[in-house]
Protein backbone atom coordinates (compact mmCIF):
# COMPACT_ATOMS: atom_id res chain seq x y z
CA UNK A 1 0.00 0.00 0.00
CA UNK A 2 1.24 3.49 -0.80
CA UNK A 3 2.56 5.46 2.17
CA UNK A 4 1.10 8.96 1.94
CA UNK A 5 2.45 10.54 5.11
CA UNK A 6 4.75 9.60 7.94
CA UNK A 7 4.51 11.62 11.11
CA UNK A 8 6.41 11.18 14.35
CA UNK A 9 3.88 8.76 15.83
CA UNK A 10 1.68 7.71 12.90
CA UNK A 11 1.73 6.62 9.27
CA UNK A 12 -1.04 7.14 6.72
CA UNK A 13 -1.54 4.87 3.73
CA UNK A 14 -3.76 5.08 0.69
CA UNK A 15 -6.59 2.54 0.35
CA UNK A 16 -8.63 1.48 -2.68
CA UNK A 17 -11.31 3.91 -1.52
CA UNK A 18 -10.35 7.52 -2.35
CA UNK A 19 -12.31 8.85 0.63
CA UNK A 20 -10.63 6.52 3.15
CA UNK A 21 -7.07 6.14 4.47
CA UNK A 22 -5.36 3.55 6.64
CA UNK A 23 -3.81 4.99 9.78
CA UNK A 24 -1.04 3.18 11.66
CA UNK A 25 -0.04 3.97 15.24
CA UNK A 26 3.75 3.68 15.69
CA UNK A 27 5.61 2.78 18.88
CA UNK A 28 7.84 5.84 18.46
CA UNK A 29 7.77 8.71 20.94
CA UNK A 30 9.41 12.03 20.20
CA UNK A 31 9.67 15.30 22.09
CA UNK A 32 11.10 18.77 21.57
CA UNK A 33 10.32 18.67 17.85
CA UNK A 34 11.91 15.29 17.33
CA UNK A 35 15.18 16.05 19.17
CA UNK A 36 14.41 13.33 21.69
CA UNK A 37 13.29 9.95 20.39
CA UNK A 38 12.55 6.52 21.86
CA UNK A 39 10.61 3.38 21.04
CA UNK A 40 8.08 2.08 23.54
CA UNK A 41 6.75 -1.42 23.00
CA UNK A 42 2.94 -1.42 22.83
CA UNK A 43 2.61 2.36 22.67
CA UNK A 44 0.96 2.19 19.24
CA UNK A 45 -1.50 -0.41 20.43
CA UNK A 46 -2.39 1.48 23.60
CA UNK A 47 -2.73 4.80 21.77
CA UNK A 48 -5.01 3.31 19.15
CA UNK A 49 -7.16 1.70 21.87
CA UNK A 50 -7.55 4.93 23.86
CA UNK A 51 -8.04 7.12 20.81
CA UNK A 52 -10.69 4.74 19.50
CA UNK A 53 -12.54 4.72 22.81
CA UNK A 54 -12.51 8.53 23.00
CA UNK A 55 -13.56 8.98 19.34
CA UNK A 56 -16.52 6.66 19.96
CA UNK A 57 -17.42 8.68 23.05
CA UNK A 58 -17.25 11.91 21.03
CA UNK A 59 -19.28 10.46 18.14
CA UNK A 60 -21.96 9.41 20.64
CA UNK A 61 -22.11 13.04 21.77
CA UNK A 62 -22.50 14.24 18.19
CA UNK A 63 -18.89 15.25 17.42
CA UNK A 64 -17.84 14.20 13.90
CA UNK A 65 -14.47 12.42 13.82
CA UNK A 66 -12.37 10.77 11.12
CA UNK A 67 -12.77 7.28 12.61
CA UNK A 68 -14.41 4.71 10.30
CA UNK A 69 -13.45 1.23 11.57
CA UNK A 70 -10.58 -0.70 13.11
CA UNK A 71 -8.50 -3.20 11.15
CA UNK A 72 -6.28 -4.53 13.95
CA UNK A 73 -4.54 -3.33 17.15
CA UNK A 74 -2.53 -0.61 15.43
CA UNK A 75 -4.46 0.07 12.22
CA UNK A 76 -7.73 1.88 11.67
CA UNK A 77 -9.53 3.18 8.62
CA UNK A 78 -10.10 6.93 8.78
CA UNK A 79 -11.81 9.40 6.51
CA UNK A 80 -9.57 11.12 3.99
CA UNK A 81 -9.29 14.78 4.90
CA UNK A 82 -7.23 17.78 3.95
CA UNK A 83 -5.57 18.61 7.25
CA UNK A 84 -5.91 22.22 8.39
CA UNK A 85 -2.35 23.19 9.31
CA UNK A 86 -3.35 24.60 12.69
CA UNK A 87 -2.86 22.72 15.95
CA UNK A 88 -5.64 23.74 18.34
CA UNK A 89 -4.67 23.54 22.03
CA UNK A 90 -7.24 23.75 24.82
CA UNK A 91 -6.02 24.38 28.38
CA UNK A 92 -7.90 23.94 31.65
CA UNK A 93 -4.87 24.21 33.94
CA UNK A 94 -1.63 26.09 33.32
CA UNK A 95 1.25 23.83 32.24
CA UNK A 96 3.90 23.37 29.58
CA UNK A 97 4.57 26.15 27.11
CA UNK A 98 1.91 28.43 28.65
CA UNK A 99 4.07 28.67 31.79
CA UNK A 100 7.21 29.34 29.74
CA UNK A 101 5.52 32.16 27.80
CA UNK A 102 3.52 33.86 30.55
CA UNK A 103 3.25 34.46 34.31
CA UNK A 104 1.08 31.41 34.95
CA UNK A 105 2.57 28.94 37.43
CA UNK A 106 2.33 25.25 36.59
CA UNK A 107 -0.85 23.83 38.11
CA UNK A 108 -2.76 27.12 38.29
CA UNK A 109 -6.38 26.40 37.37
CA UNK A 110 -7.75 28.59 34.57
CA UNK A 111 -11.12 30.23 35.25
CA UNK A 112 -12.21 29.62 31.65
CA UNK A 113 -10.49 27.30 29.15
CA UNK A 114 -7.81 28.96 27.03
CA UNK A 115 -7.70 28.09 23.33
CA UNK A 116 -4.43 28.60 21.44
CA UNK A 117 -3.41 28.02 17.82
CA UNK A 118 -0.03 26.74 16.59
CA UNK A 119 1.19 26.58 13.01
CA UNK A 120 1.70 22.94 12.05
CA UNK A 121 5.23 23.28 10.67
CA UNK A 122 8.04 21.19 12.17
CA UNK A 123 10.74 23.23 10.42
CA UNK A 124 9.54 26.32 12.27
CA UNK A 125 8.97 24.40 15.53
CA UNK A 126 5.18 24.84 15.44
CA UNK A 127 5.06 28.53 16.49
CA UNK A 128 2.00 29.98 18.20
CA UNK A 129 -0.20 32.02 15.85
CA UNK A 130 -3.40 34.06 16.17
CA UNK A 131 -6.67 33.95 14.25
CA UNK A 132 -5.37 36.94 12.25
CA UNK A 133 -2.31 34.92 11.14
CA UNK A 134 -4.59 32.03 10.19
CA UNK A 135 -6.72 34.35 8.07
CA UNK A 136 -3.76 36.10 6.37
CA UNK A 137 -1.99 32.79 5.62
CA UNK A 138 -5.31 31.43 4.35
CA UNK A 139 -4.94 28.34 6.53
CA UNK A 140 -8.64 28.61 7.30
CA UNK A 141 -11.41 31.18 6.88
CA UNK A 142 -12.66 33.13 9.92
CA UNK A 143 -15.83 31.00 9.81
CA UNK A 144 -13.71 27.84 9.89
CA UNK A 145 -11.62 29.20 12.78
CA UNK A 146 -14.86 29.79 14.69
CA UNK A 147 -15.77 26.16 14.01
CA UNK A 148 -12.35 24.94 15.19
CA UNK A 149 -12.63 26.90 18.43
CA UNK A 150 -16.22 25.88 19.14
CA UNK A 151 -15.41 22.26 18.23
CA UNK A 152 -12.35 22.16 20.47
CA UNK A 153 -14.28 23.65 23.42
CA UNK A 154 -17.16 21.21 22.89
CA UNK A 155 -14.67 18.30 22.89
CA UNK A 156 -13.22 19.69 26.13
CA UNK A 157 -16.73 19.74 27.66
CA UNK A 158 -17.06 16.02 26.86
CA UNK A 159 -13.54 14.82 27.67
CA UNK A 160 -12.99 16.79 30.88
CA UNK A 161 -15.86 15.18 32.85
CA UNK A 162 -15.09 11.78 31.30
CA UNK A 163 -11.47 11.88 32.51
CA UNK A 164 -12.59 13.20 35.93
CA UNK A 165 -14.64 10.02 36.32
CA UNK A 166 -11.39 8.09 35.82
CA UNK A 167 -9.58 10.14 38.46
CA UNK A 168 -7.65 12.17 35.89
CA UNK A 169 -7.56 15.92 35.44
CA UNK A 170 -7.49 16.91 31.76
CA UNK A 171 -4.93 19.71 32.03
CA UNK A 172 -4.60 20.45 28.30
CA UNK A 173 -4.68 18.78 24.90
CA UNK A 174 -3.95 19.34 21.21
CA UNK A 175 -6.33 18.67 18.34
CA UNK A 176 -6.12 18.75 14.57
CA UNK A 177 -9.06 19.11 12.22
CA UNK A 178 -9.49 18.46 8.51
CA UNK A 179 -11.82 19.17 5.62
CA UNK A 180 -13.45 16.03 4.22
CA UNK A 181 -11.89 15.12 0.84
CA UNK A 182 -15.36 14.22 -0.38
CA UNK A 183 -16.93 17.45 0.94
CA UNK A 184 -14.44 20.19 1.90
CA UNK A 185 -17.18 22.29 3.49
CA UNK A 186 -17.36 19.72 6.29
CA UNK A 187 -14.72 19.95 9.01
CA UNK A 188 -14.13 16.96 11.29
CA UNK A 189 -11.77 16.02 14.10
CA UNK A 190 -8.87 14.26 12.40
CA UNK A 191 -6.35 13.44 15.12
CA UNK A 192 -5.50 10.99 17.84
CA UNK A 193 -6.45 11.74 21.44
CA UNK A 194 -3.88 9.98 23.59
CA UNK A 195 -1.41 10.63 26.42
CA UNK A 196 0.93 11.83 23.63
CA UNK A 197 -1.40 14.74 22.89
CA UNK A 198 -3.03 15.41 26.30
CA UNK A 199 -1.75 16.27 29.75
CA UNK A 200 -3.48 14.10 32.34
CA UNK A 201 -2.77 14.45 36.06
CA UNK A 202 -4.03 12.06 38.72
CA UNK A 203 -6.68 13.92 40.71
CA UNK A 204 -5.50 12.64 44.09
CA UNK A 205 -1.72 12.35 43.78
CA UNK A 206 -1.20 15.01 41.09
CA UNK A 207 1.06 12.53 39.30
CA UNK A 208 1.63 13.18 35.58
CA UNK A 209 0.21 10.29 33.53
CA UNK A 210 1.09 11.47 30.00
CA UNK A 211 3.98 12.13 27.63
CA UNK A 212 5.53 14.59 30.09
CA UNK A 213 6.88 11.43 31.79
CA UNK A 214 8.97 10.93 28.64
CA UNK A 215 9.67 14.63 27.99
CA UNK A 216 10.91 15.13 31.56
CA UNK A 217 12.50 11.69 32.14
CA UNK A 218 10.10 10.81 34.95
CA UNK A 219 10.15 7.06 34.17
CA UNK A 220 7.26 4.55 34.02
CA UNK A 221 6.07 6.01 30.70
CA UNK A 222 4.22 2.96 29.39
CA UNK A 223 2.96 2.01 32.85
CA UNK A 224 1.19 5.37 32.94
CA UNK A 225 -0.23 4.99 29.42
CA UNK A 226 -1.52 1.54 30.39
CA UNK A 227 -3.10 2.92 33.56
CA UNK A 228 -4.84 5.73 31.64
CA UNK A 229 -6.20 3.20 29.13
CA UNK A 230 -7.37 0.83 31.87
CA UNK A 231 -9.15 3.61 33.76
CA UNK A 232 -10.83 4.84 30.56
CA UNK A 233 -11.97 1.31 29.67
CA UNK A 234 -13.34 0.82 33.18
CA UNK A 235 -15.22 4.15 32.99
CA UNK A 236 -16.78 3.27 29.63
CA UNK A 237 -17.91 -0.13 30.87
CA UNK A 238 -19.21 1.08 34.24
80 half-sphere exposure, CB direction, 13 A CA radius:
14
Footprint of ligand ASP on this chain (CB under 6 A)?
A: 8, 30-34, 211, 215
The answer to whether residue 89 forms part of the interface with ligand TMP (CB under 6 A) is yes
Give the count of residues interacting with ligand TMP (CB under 6 A).
12
Q: Are 113 and 151 in contact (CB under 8 A)?
A: no
Q: Are 95 and 107 in contact (CB under 8 A)?
A: yes
Q: Which does 199 bind (CB under 5 to 8 A by kind): ligand TMP, ligand ASP, none?
A: ligand TMP
The answer to whether residue 126 forms part of the interface with ligand TMP (CB under 6 A) is yes
Query: Contact letters (x/-) for ligand TMP, 95-124, by CB under 6 A?
Result: xxxx--------------------------
Give the 3-state secondary structure of residue 123. helix
What stretches of the chain show up as alpha helix (H) in DSSP? 43-60, 97-101, 131-136, 142-165, 212-215, 221-237
Tell me the C-alpha distance between 134 and 118, whole Å.
9
Rg (CA), the chain: 17
Q: Are 91 and 117 in contact (CB under 8 A)?
A: no
Q: Which does 227 bind (CB under 5 to 8 A by kind): ligand ASP, ligand TMP, none?
A: none
Strands 109-119 vs 128-129: parallel, antiparallel or unpaired: antiparallel
Among 80, 166, 197, 224, binds ligand TMP (CB under 6 A): 197
Is the Cβ of residue 14 or residue 202 nearer to ligand TMP in the bound state? 202
Residue showing the smallest CB distance to ligand TMP in the complex: 96
Please report how close the Cβ of residue 144 comes to ligand TMP at its closest, in angstroms.
20
**Choices 103-111, 140-148, 168-176, 218-226; region in contact with ligand TMP by CB under 6 A:** 168-176
Give the residues lining the site for ligand TMP (CB under 6 A): 89, 95-98, 126, 172-174, 197-199
Amino acid sequence: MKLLYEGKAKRLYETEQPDELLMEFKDDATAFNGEKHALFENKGRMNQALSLLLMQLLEKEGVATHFVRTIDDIHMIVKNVEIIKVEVVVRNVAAGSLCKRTWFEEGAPLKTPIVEYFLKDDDLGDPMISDDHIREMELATPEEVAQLKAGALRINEILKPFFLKTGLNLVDFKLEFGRLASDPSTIILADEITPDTCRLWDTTTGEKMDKDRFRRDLGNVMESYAEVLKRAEDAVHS
